[in-house]
């Protein structure tokens, strides 16, 4: 296969004709893949040959069913083009034959492939590429001529697909070699072919190489399209050459032949955003708008993430408004990027606002963000009581969504419920927690005991204390203190003594001592926990 070629620099003349002879023996006479069968029918009697074919068939047949379903779906996706479906049928047919039956396999392949058009063949290659099987595609490409009576000349598309396969395998040198092979053998590569290669080079940060290919392209009079430039713009941004990218974009604006599109602008905007220059990105967006380009969700999403990176996620509200003004519907990425940014920087109230909007529209909020929002709301609710209700609603939403709530979320919401004096719900969720096999931390039990005591519900508080034992937790000094204090305040000296005694039995000496005092109706002091 191709791997037999030595690495060659990017110079056209370095490809000698002898290389191509070795590389594509079937194509060396004419530019066609010709079947050796036509000249030498006896080839299938050669055991080594048969073995090789068999291996290849095995490789093809062993395409896992998952991959094959990808082939099917990508085939269906391509407007139900017959080529992809044919490819799948072909693979299915091969799979139905027992491996031992070599001649049957070979004749099936031959029969089936013999009436394939080049379009079918390219479709199969493309399907294999889409199914993440670049090796298989390349194997098929280099061997199909010897397996069947095919008489198909590969064309520019065929080679383009093969180049993409090389790129997918991370073998860019090979991809460049194939490009040179094309140029040296009359398969004129076109813009698409070049763009594929330039794209792959840029994506890997090989910007210098990309520009060299770009020059080769110009050298043979092949005019770049906006696609080509967009790849280069992305590549420049990727390696941090934002100024150069910006300059290139501005120069494109002056060109007659090329109209930069919204992708061009998005690419450079993203470049600015990635290095903390979101305002300049915003400026570019305005420029694009003036030019009459229609920004899409991706264009705006890059700004959401840019402002997040810079630590000013609230600017997202402007972006969101602009989006709506320009009739661009925010997608789930817009919202989750924005929400994520606000949460990351602790802008809880803003996050709540965005969360509510998302829920209102019907967007799913990811579990991680729900927990993060809940946590933020709970912590803030300890100072700003109006958030208790919101925190609890988020929690309820989480319970609707997933069956298993994490330990931390329970702890946070229980504390918040205690602070909001919703002791009934606090006790309920504490029970839920233990029922699920979680062991709440001592502080969580104490939160509930304290809240119950504050409401004078001494009996229930005692039940919680007992449940600590049931869950294998040793109550802390604070746990006992709160109860002794409340018994004292309610004038229940006996109860106070009982708790005190129980504490001593556990080896804990409470600060509070059972004291005879006047019963108090409304408790006013709070024991810090």
Residues engaged in binding DNA (CB under 7 A)? 78, 118-119, 122-123, 126, 155-158, 160-161, 164, 190-193, 195-196, 199, 203, 225-228, 230-231, 234, 261-264, 266-267, 270, 274, 296-299, 301-302, 305, 308-309, 333, 336-337, 340, 344, 366, 368
Return the number of the residue (370 or 503) whose C-beta is nearest DNA: 370
CB of 142 to DNA, least distance (A): 17
**Min dist. Cβ of residue 228 to DNA (A):** 5
Helix axes 134-147, 156-168, angle to 10 degrees: 140
Could you tell me the smallest distance in angstroms from the CB atom of residue 398 to DNA? Answer: 17
Q: Is the CB of 75 or the CB of 499 nearer to DNA? A: 75
Q: Which is nearer to DNA, 189 or 510 (CB)?
A: 189
**Comparison of 195 and 476: residue with beta carbon closer to DNA:** 195
Q: How buried is residue 209: exposed, middle or buried, by Cβ count under 10 Å (0-12/13-18/19+)?
A: buried
Cβ nearer to DNA, comparing 109 with 249: 249
Measured from the CB atom, the residue of 227 and 415 that comes closer to DNA is 227
What is the CB-side half-sphere exposure of residue 185 using CA atoms within 13 A?
Answer: 27
Nearest to 172 by CA among 202, 142, 140, 127: 202
Nearer to DNA, 112 or 425 (CB): 112
User: Tokens 């379903």 map to which residue?
Assistant: 69
Q: How far is the CB of 340 from DNA (least distance, A)?
A: 4
The three state secondary structure string of 81-97 is: CHHHHHHHHHHHHHHHC
Contact 228, 222 (CB under 8 A): no
Helix (H) or strand (E) holding 249: helix 242-254
What's the closest the beta carbon of residue 212 comes to DNA, in angstroms?
18
Q: Provide the minimum distance between the beta carbon of 260 and DNA in the complex, in angstroms, as a whole number.
A: 8
Mark residue 282 as left, alpha or beta (left: phi above 0; alpha: psi -120 to 50; beta: remaining).
alpha
- The H or E element that residue 461 is part of is helix 458-470
Shortest Å, Cβ 84 to DNA: 9
| Geometric angle at alpha carbon 356, from 351 and 361, rounded to 5° | 130
3-state SS of 125-186 is: HHHHHHCCCHHHHHHHHHHHHHHCCCCCCCCHHHHHHHHHHHHHCCCHHHHHHHHHHHHHCC
* Shortest Å, Cβ 302 to DNA: 5
In the complex with DNA, the residue whose CB is nearer, 241 or 520, is 241
Residue with tokens 């709506």: 324
Provide, rounded to whole angstroms, the least separation between the CB of residue 316 and DNA.
12
Give me the least distance between CB of 508 and DNA, in Å please: 39
Interhelix angle for 297-309 vs 262-274, to 10°? 10
Which value, to the nearest 10 degrees, does the dihedral of the CA atoms of residues 401, 406, 408, 411 take?
Answer: 70
Pick 228 or 476: Cβ nearer DNA: 228
Nearer Cβ to DNA (109/339): 339
Between 234 and 375, name the residue whose CB sits nearer to DNA: 234
Contacts by residues 273-278 (CB-CB < 8 Å, ≥ 24 positions apart): 273/302, 273/303, 273/305, 273/306, 273/307, 273/309, 274/237, 274/306, 274/309, 275/240, 275/242, 276/306, 276/309, 276/310, 277/242, 277/306, 278/303, 278/306, 278/307, 278/309, 278/310, 278/315
With b meaning 16 or more CB within 10 Å and e meaning fewer, what string describes 17-44?
A: eebbeebbebbeeeeebbbebeeeeeeb
Report the nearest approach of DNA to the CB of residue 341 (Å): 7
């Amino acid at each position: 296969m191709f791997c037999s070629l030595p690495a060659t620099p990017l110079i056209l003349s370095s490809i000698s004709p002898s290389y191509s002879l070795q590389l594509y023996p079937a194509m060396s006479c004419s530019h066609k893949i010709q079947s050796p069968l036509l000249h030498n029918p006896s080839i299938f009697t050669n055991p080594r040959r048969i073995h090789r074919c068999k291996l290849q068939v095995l490789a093809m047949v062993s395409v896992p069913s998952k991959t094959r379903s990808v082939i099917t779906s990508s085939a269906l996706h391509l407007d139900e083009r017959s080529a992809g479906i044919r490819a799948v049928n072909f693979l299915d047919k091969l799979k139905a034959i027992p491996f031992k039956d070599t001649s049957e396999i070979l004749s099936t392949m031959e029969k089936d492939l013999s009436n394939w058009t080049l379009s079918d063949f390219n479709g199969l290659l493309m399907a294999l590429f889409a199914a993440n099987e670049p090796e298989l595609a390349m194997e098929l490409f280099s061997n199909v001529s010897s397996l069947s009576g095919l008489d198909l000349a590969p064309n520019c598309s065929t080679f383009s697909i093969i180049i993409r396969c090389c790129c997918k395998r991370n073998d860019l040198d090979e991809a460049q070699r194939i490009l040179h092979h094309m140029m040296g053998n009359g398969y004129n590569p076109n813009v698409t072919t070049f763009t594929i290669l330039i794209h792959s080079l840029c994506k890997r940060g090989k910007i210098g190489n990309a520009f060299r290919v770009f020059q080769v392209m110009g050298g043979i009079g092949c005019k770049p399209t906006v696609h080509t430039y967009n790849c280069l713009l992305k590549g420049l941004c990727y390696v941090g050459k934002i100024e150069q990218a910006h300059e290139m974009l501005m120069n494109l604006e002056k060109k007659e032949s090329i109209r930069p599109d919204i992708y061009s602008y998005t690419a450079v905007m993203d470049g600015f955003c990635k290095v903390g220059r979101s305002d300049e990105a915003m400026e570019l967006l305005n420029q694009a708008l003036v030019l009459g380009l229609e920004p899409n969700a991706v264009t705006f999403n890059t700004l959401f993430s840019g402002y997040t990176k810079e630590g000013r996620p609230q600017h997202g509200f402007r972006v969101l408004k602009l989006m709506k003004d320009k009739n661009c519907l925010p997608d789930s990425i817009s919202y989750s990027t924005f929400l994520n940014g606000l949460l990351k920087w602790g802008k809880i109230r803003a996050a709540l606002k965005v969360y509510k909007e998302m829920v209102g529209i019907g967007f799913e909020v990811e579990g991680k963000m729900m927990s993060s929002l809940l946590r933020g709301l709970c912590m803030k609710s300890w100072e700003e009581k109006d958030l208790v209700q919101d925190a609890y609603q988020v929690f309820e939403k989480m319970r609707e969504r997933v069956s298993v709530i994490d330990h931390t979320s329970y702890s946070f919401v229980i504390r918040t419920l205690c602070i909001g004096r919703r002791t009934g719900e606090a006790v309920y969720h504490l029970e839920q927690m233990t029922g699920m096999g979680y062991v709440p931390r001592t502080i969580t039990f104490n939160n509930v005991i304290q809240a119950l005591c504050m409401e004078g519900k001494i009996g229930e508080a005692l039940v919680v204390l007992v449940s600590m034992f049931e869950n294998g937790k040793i109550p802390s000094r604070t746990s006992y203190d709160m109860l002794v204090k409340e018994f004292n305040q309610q004038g229940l000296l006996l109860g106070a003594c009982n708790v005190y005694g129980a504490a001593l039995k556990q080896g804990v000496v409470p600060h509070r001592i059972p004291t005879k005092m006047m019963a108090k109706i409304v408790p006013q002091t709070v024991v810090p926990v």
